[in-house]
Structure 1
Amino acid sequence: MTSPGTGRATRATRASSSSSSEGAGPLPEGLERFQSPGKGRGLRALRRFAVGELLFSCPAYACVLTVNERGNHCERCFARKEGLSRCGRCKQAFYCNVECQKEDWPMHKLECSAMCVFGQNWNPSETVRLTARILAKQKTHPERTESEKLLSVEDFESHLDQLDNEKMELIQNDISALHHFYSKHMEYPENAALVVLFAQVNCNGFTIEDEELSHLGSAIFPDVALMNHSCCPNVIVTYKGTVAEVRAVQEIEPGDEVFTSYIDLLYPTEDRNDRLRDSYFFTCGCRECITKEKDKDKLEIRKLNEPPSAEVIRDMIKYARNVIEEFRRAKHYKSPSELLEICELSLDKMGSVFAESNVYMLHMMYQAMGVCLYTQDWEGALRYGQKIIKPYSKHYPLFSLNVASMWLKLGRLYLGLENKAAGTKALKKAIAIMEIAHGKDHPYVIEIKKELEAH
């Protein structure tokens, strides 16, 4: 039950002008690192790239599988398969084969004995787990890695001088957890260096998701972090196991800067920039943010005999933002039926002012759909999905992973409910987007085509 699209390449670096890519080996062909006016360092195309073309790929410098996916995915390569072998000692890490297990041991050993000692009380956050792996990697690989051809981990921006007291307190909590859970195999730098590293991870970490945008884990992809943000991105980042792949979703000409999106693009300009300022400490100046041309549709008001006043609309937007935040917190402690009630009550209240295509309505419908999927109420999930898909296709850019994943969910729901025609049509729409975003040979694309053939 994640919020829509919170995790593709949702993080990247806002960089200072220092440092070059010396010692990084051959750079990706047709690309160069450069000083982007007003943005610090960035990535620029030296040749034309067609829609769907792979610009470059980047193996994870460090990655960690989320605890909830243990047993479903290999801890080392993130492959999804049946019959994984488990670690004989902790019994909590699973692998494709002996090779994956051996390759992962330098990282898994950081956790293996601690998991045995702490048992159920072993619960460091994913950020803490990822940071522990970065520290271990820096110790064993002090030289530049394959993931750092354009940008090294050491050169990540930390924005330390812009962190408020709350963010600094969270970092100190993470440092305490690192010391608490990782002692046997770790040598710690001093506290000041750990503060910088956690700040860098918070600003430059990526969330890896599967084809339905379910959370698989977290990773550091230094070269991918070089790209600056735009709300009209010309590339998209997808994942093949623990390798990030960057593909063009618009025609890119020689001299064009390569832009990705750090955030979910569903929301109106003000909300997007609030998120960018809070997480990445800048305001976007892209065409979409200057013209705000999609905002009117995204904030569509119901057609009523008496149009609501500006004040009523403003109050309802404030309510919508609050209920989104309330739901985010409630997911940690409320039952599915209580969560569904929050969704239904908020949709009812917002629906007195907002049209169904309004993004705040769509957000709560998406959450309601997630609850229905979790409780296996397939008809309920389908009803919400059917309302979401058309406005999603309008509000999101072409070749959006959010739209692809919604078509995919709908297709699987239709087929599960034995509506073969609608299921086939929806899966084909998902494939059309994913062939551009993921590439035609991606395991997810091949898997969905097999699903189609089976029906």
Structure 2
Amino acid sequence: MINDSRGTAAAHPAERIEGTERFLSRRRAVLVFACPAYSYVLTVNERGAHCEHCFSRRDGLFKCGKCKQAFYCNVDCQRGDWPMHKLECSAMCAYGENWCPSETVRLVARIIMRQRTTTERTPSERLLLLREFEAHLDKLDSEKEEMNQADIAALHHFYSRHIIDLPDDQALAELFAQVNCNGFTIEDEELSHLGSAVFPDVALMNHSCSPNVIVTYKGTVAEVRAVQEINPGEEIFNSYIDLLYPTEDRNERLLDSYFFTCQCKECTTKSKDKAKMEIRKKLSSPPEPEEIRSMVRYAKNVIEEFRRAKHYKNILSNNLFLLFMCELSQEKMGAIFADTNVYMLHMMYQAMGVCLYMQDWDGAMSYGEKIVQPYSVHYPAYSLNVASMYLKLGRLYLGLERKTQGIKALKKALAIMEVAHGKDHHYVAEVKREIEEQK
């Protein structure tokens, strides 16, 4: 399922194809391979800040002269994007303010157009063709089937006048299921959502909760780098999900979105579960198991309520309400859970996000300081979640004129990013520049 939250992007592969080890390196943090997107879309929220074609972040982008909604670095980017953008351009002009297909619908529309114009194997399909993606249609529950049908209806509504002879509903149902199960979320260095894409070859990797590679993005190219020593012949493993949570939660997510239960070493040993579910010290008496289970149920419910509440329309009052939800849930969970417990950290992270949106820099910094160290313990080495937290905290410190702490945090972010993104990545160059500017 394409992830529209701040979580890690994911893709469920088809059956593993032997021979992928030819991309492996014995050296940690050396590029494994790079893969251009087969198809991609920039999220609507980032229009005007990023180029629609190359996803570059810069000032001075110029608008498409027709729809006035797509932005580009230059004429070359506009020309490069036109074969795909012309589809949306016509639809946006026709529907005006009523044009509102979901990101998944937009991506599928572009895939259909690409399939009609590209008959040969693309550079992103060196090993796996997009049509070979797993769909798992037979495993969809009624709720997912309804979502699939809603997406098909939206595709017909917004694009039937602009795409001649759309595939039949059965073919569309399979395509939407393939994209939902194999799509990647492209994120920036702070894990802000930039867009969605499909990378067939990258989707070949199986999942592990202790991955030996990590996927990052350079524009619309996925780059896969080793974060552990990998010997020739060993399988490469990516993570499909946010690895913060305990084993039971991770497998619930994997089963719900990708239809399998993980049997990796981390899941069989559950080595981090005790630390992730840390109970408050110095309680008058240890909580009973049922009390802990009850609090976990409460935590999961409030996480889901928060997710739904983020879509309310009244921005100011809603953010105050969201912050209140975060504080109230932390107070209730804090009766049993330690501050390092992952459910506490989840709500702290959400509260930090609300504070950042409301420009409450001190509040955001306070939450970030509580989060960053436990993140370093709970996440695997070279985690982008840890890097992004150090990066946010470092930039907050500098904004609040706490120079020494800011540089220290940025350097910790940089140490991870140089491995995960590569030393030549423009995000790495930006962070180095921020550090140099403080000297």
Question: What TM-score do the two structures reach when normalised by structure 2?
Answer: 0.96
AA aligned opposite 1:277: L
Alignment of structure 1 residues 291-306 onto 2, 5 Å: 291-303=269-281, 304-306=283-285
**1:257 is the counterpart of 2:256:** no
Say yes or no: does 1:411 pair with 2:394: yes
Match of 2:44 among 25, 50, 67: 67
Q: Does 1:97 align with 2:71?
A: no
Aligned partner of residue 355 in structure 1, secondary structure: coil
Partners of 1:100 and 1:163 in 2: CA distance: 39
Residue 364 of structure 1 aligns with which residue? 347
1:237 and 2:220 aligned: no
2:177 is aligned with 1:199: yes
Show structure 1 runs of 4+ deviating over 3 A. Answer: 2-5, 42-48
Q: Is the 8 A contact 2:37 2:124 kept in 1?
A: yes
Q: Among 247, 267, 285, which residue is 2:225 paired with?
A: 247
Shift of 1:448: 0.8
Q: What's the CA shift for 1:142?
A: 1.6
Q: Which residue of 2 aligns with 1:12?
A: 12
How far 1:412 sits from its partner (Å)? 0.1
**CA apart distance, 1:454:** 1.2
Displacement of 1:246: 0.1
Give the SS at the match of 1:161. helix
Q: Give how far 1:381 is off.
A: 0.1
Matched with 1:318 is 297
- Call closer, same or farther: CA 1:340–1:105 in 2, change over 3 Å: same
Deviations, residues 126-146 of structure 1 (Å, cap 9, x unaligned): 000000000000000021100
Is 1:211 the counterpart of 2:189 in the alignment?
yes
Asked if the contact 1:48–1:254 (Cα under 8 Å) also holds between the matched residues in 2, the reply is yes
The residue aligned with 1:38 is none
> What residue number does 1:106 align with?
83
1:149-168 matches, cutoff 5 A: 149-168=126-145
Q: Which AA in structure 1 matches 2:218? A: K
- Match in the other structure for 2:30: 53
Cα RMSD after superposing both structures: 1.4
Aligned equivalent of 1:182, options 139, 144, 159: 159
Q: Cα gap change, 1:268/1:45 in structure 2, threshold over 3 Å: closer, same or farther?
A: farther
Verify the 8 A CA contact 2:24 2:32 in the aligned structure 1.
Answer: no
Tell me if the contact between 1:4 and 1:264 (Cα under 8 Å) persists in the aligned partners: no
Give the C-alpha shift of residue 5 in structure 1: 5.1
Q: What SS does structure 2 have at the residue aligned with 1:44?
A: helix
CA contact (8 A) 1:232 1:288 kept: yes
Tell me if structure 2 keeps the 8 A contact 1:411–1:426: yes
Which whole-Å deviations, capped at 9, do the CAs of 1:203-243 have from their partners, x for residues lacking one?
00000000000000000000000000000000000000000
Counterparts of 1:47 and 1:283 in 2: how far apart (Å)? 26
Alpha-carbon separation, structure 2, partners of 1:445 and 1:194: 40
Distance 2:11 2:132 in 1: 15
**Residues in 2 aligned to 1:246 and 1:197: alpha-carbon distance in whole angstroms:** 25
- C-alpha contact 2:216 2:421 (8 A) present in aligned 1: yes
- 2:25 touches 2:32 (CA, 8 Å); kept in 1? no
Counterpart contact for 1:5–1:402, Cα < 8 Å: no
* Cα shift readout 1:47-71 (whole Å, capped 9, x = no counterpart): 5431211000000000000000000
Structure 1: which amino acid aligns with 2:334?
G
| 2:268 aligned counterpart, secondary structure | helix
Gap runs ≥5 in structure 2: none
Q: Secondary structure at the match of 2:387?
A: helix
1:374 aligns with 2:357: yes
Deviations 1:329-348 (A, max 9, x none): 11001610000000000000
Is the CA contact 1:404–1:433 (under 8 Å) kept in the aligned structure 2? Answer: yes
Q: Please point out which of 401, 408, 421 is paired with 2:384.
A: 401
Contact 1:56/1:245 (<8 A) preserved: yes
SS at match of 1:218: strand
Q: Which one-letter code corresponds to 2:349 in the other structure?
A: Y
CA contact (8 A) 2:6 2:192 kept: no
Q: Would you say the 8 A contact 2:190–2:389 is kept in 1?
A: yes
User: Which of residues 322, 325, 342 is equivalent to 1:339?
Assistant: 322
* 1:289 CA drift (Å): 0.2
- The percent of aligned pairs where both chains have the same amino acid is 69
CA–CA distance in 1 between the matches of 2:120 and 2:163? 19
Corresponding residue number in structure 1 for 2:202: 224
In the other structure, the counterpart of 1:23 is: none
What secondary structure is seen at the aligned counterpart in 2 of 1:63? strand
Note the alpha carbon deviations across 1:156-203, whole angstroms, 9 max, x for none.
Answer: 000011011111111111011001111333131111100000000000
Question: In the comparison of the two structures, how many residue pairs are matched?
Answer: 430
Structure 2 distance, partners of 1:359, 1:43, is 35
Query: TM-score, length-normalised on structure 1?
Result: 0.93
Gaps of 5+ in 1: 18-32, 35-41
